[in-house]
Amino acid sequence: MRKLPDFDRFLRPVTSALSGPSALAFLPALSLGAFWLGGERALVSVTLGVPLMFAVSGIVNSQSKTRAGQAIGGVLPSDQFNLALSEKLEIAQQQEAGTACIAIAIDGFPEVADIHGQAAADHIHQQFCSCVLSMIRDNDIAMLVGDDGLMIGLHPSQQLDLEACIQMSGRIQSAVEEPIMLNGIGLYLTCSIGFSLNKTISGDTVSDWKAASTDALTEAQRSGPSTIRAYSSETRRRSLVRSNLRKEFEAALDHGDIRPWFQPQVSTDTGRVTGFEALARWEHPQKGVLSPQVFLPFAEQADLMERLGQAIRHHAFTAMRAWERAGVIVPRMGVNFSSDELRGPSLIDRLKWELDQFDLTPDRLTVEVLETVFSRRPDDVITRNVTGLAALGCCIDLDDFGTGHASIASIKRFNVTRIKIDRSFVAKSDQDPSQQQMASAILTMAERLNLETLAEGVETPGEHALMAQLGCDHVQGFGIGKPMPFEKTLDWMAAHNGKMNGVPKIGRQTG
């Protein structure tokens, strides 16, 4: 840390003594002496002056501690961190030494907060910070980043290189992975780490350095939990590509280039269309049609998930009204709701307004929610919104069933209308007996709970026939129909209905 000025070094012990318990012993003597020597005026002066002296000494002590880098919790405010980091960069350049800026983030922290509550999340974050700070040296510095991370500035050293940073990052991860006690239960965390050596950054400012470590952290998080990434020129190139795509994504939302494509869902009993699922697609003018896997990360990072959801619902409801004008009734429209949308306190009121705008009843909308949502606490905002949507009359689809942690109790509590069997249980089920047994078990459970069922990822006539014979109510997949733009839906439905005329039923009664 930087040296304190001479005046501070002199003043600090004096003010410390004056503000300590030993000073209290002199107060009566000071008061009596002041009154004896100077009368009432002197007594009043001492009475007012002593508290003022204590206040000043407290301020000086606080400032000295802050300047010494001993802020509460061992971390610095952002402005002081930037100043100290700039000094370390300057020292490293003068000494031709190595230093690094390290960005660390807890993996899956929003989900931890949703499951355990904000108070528990704050406790977990404090324990995480203490754990990381215990792994760095006294002359290293740290700063809080968001609700789930830290940024570390390492003191310059001749031995600090790429290998040393990787080893240190690994030690930090090992320390973080030690269980944190929460209500008597050990909670296991992991963290992702990105770092940038001073010799690899493209610019020469602290902002460039911090941005480089943040880009490396982003790459680590995209690669999976508990990952370490070092910044490089390739990292910078990929970061620029992502940044440009993010800007293009926002412009695409403004211009209506992101809209739903529709994948049909059909009844296994009648073969008729029972609904469509609205799947977001970005119709990029140069890159063609982009799937959600490409642009959803940008939407999440830019806090645009709610806006994306509103755009998809607008296009989907517009399609339903257009089908009705063409004389075709599609009973349901399935729309995926992200966690960010389900956290919105005004979601239900907004959805009522949207349905009224298109003169649609709530039962025409199917709210598709991932199974992981149903493992959350029963009193959080997401839970209240999902149960509120069910009470409004919307159908609740439990998406990707079998891949998460939904319990039977939570399925009933959320008033789930239908479970969607994940494609991993459907693929080759007509050829693999173990797959068939898994699908059959899920369908039997759903029947006992009086739940509708839909099999996802049906790609062959054999899988379609088996799902029908096992009692699955609806099927969806490339074997039925691929996602298509609205302009092709009416022709597809006309062709599909034409094929269904005269085709015998293949439901359970024929199996």
* Neighbour count for residue 479 (Cβ, 10 Å): 16
Q: What is the pTM of this model?
A: 0.62
Cα–chain center distance at 151: 19
Angstrom distances, CA of residue 270 to CA of 265, 273, 373, 435, 481:
12, 9, 32, 25, 16
Residues 6 or more apart whose Cβ sits within 8 Å of residue 180:
124, 127, 128, 186, 187, 188, 189
| Two structure tokens written together for 298 | 């940008």
d(C-alpha 1, C-alpha 138), whole Å:
9
The tens digit of pLDDT for each residue in 158-214 reads: 988 989 999 999 999 999 999 888 877 888 889 999 999 988 876 678 888 998 898
Q: What is the DSSP letter of 137?
A: -
State the amino acid at position 325 in one-letter form.
R
State the amino acid at position 179 in one-letter form.
P
Residues 6 or more apart whose Cβ sits within 8 Å of residue 132:
104, 142, 150, 152, 172, 175, 176
Q: Mapped to the 3 state alphabet, what secondary structure does 372-429 carry?
A: HHHHCCCCCHHHHHHHHHHHHCCEEEEEEECCCCCCHHHHHHCCCCEEEECHHHHCCC
Gyration radius of the chain's alpha carbons:
31
| Two structure tokens written together for 96 | 């031709």
Query: What is the pLDDT at residue 345?
Result: 85
The tens digit of pLDDT for each residue in 409-449 reads: 778 778 899 999 989 899 988 999 999 999 999 999 999 99
Backbone angles phi, psi at 105, to 5 degrees: -140, 140
Residues 6 or more apart whose Cβ sits within 8 Å of residue 86:
206
d(C-alpha 227, C-alpha 127), whole Å:
20
| Two structure tokens written together for 422 | 């994940």
d(C-alpha 321, C-alpha 332), whole Å:
12
Spatial contact of 172 and 135, defined as CB atoms under 8 Å apart: yes
SS3 content of the chain, % helix, strand, coil (to 5): 55, 20, 30
DSSP line for 241-278: HHHHHHHHHHHHHHHT-EEEEEEEEEETTT--EEEEEE
Spatial contact of 230 and 195, defined as CB atoms under 8 Å apart: yes
Spatial contact of 47 and 30, defined as CB atoms under 8 Å apart: no
* Neighbour count for residue 223 (Cβ, 10 Å): 12
| Two structure tokens written together for 375 | 């493992």
Alpha-helix residue ranges (DSSP H) falling in 68-183:
78-95, 109-116, 118-133, 162-176
* Neighbour count for residue 170 (Cβ, 10 Å): 13
| Two structure tokens written together for 201 | 């950054």
Strand 228-230 and strand 141-145: the pairing is unpaired
* Full pLDDT tens readout for the chain, 511 residues: 333 334 333 444 444 444 444 444 555 666 666 666 666 666 666 566 655 665 544 443 444 333 333 344 568 999 999 999 999 989 988 998 999 999 999 998 877 777 777 788 888 988 999 999 999 988 999 999 988 899 999 999 998 898 999 999 999 999 999 988 887 788 888 999 999 998 887 667 888 899 889 889 988 888 878 899 998 877 777 777 777 777 888 888 888 899 999 999 999 999 999 999 999 999 988 888 988 888 887 787 777 888 999 999 999 999 999 999 999 999 999 999 988 888 888 899 999 999 999 999 999 999 998 876 665 555 578 888 999 999 999 999 988 776 666 667 778 778 899 999 989 899 988 999 999 999 999 999 999 999 999 999 999 999 999 999 999 999 999 999 999 999 999 999 999 988 877 555 554 444 4
State the amino acid at position 150 in one-letter form.
L
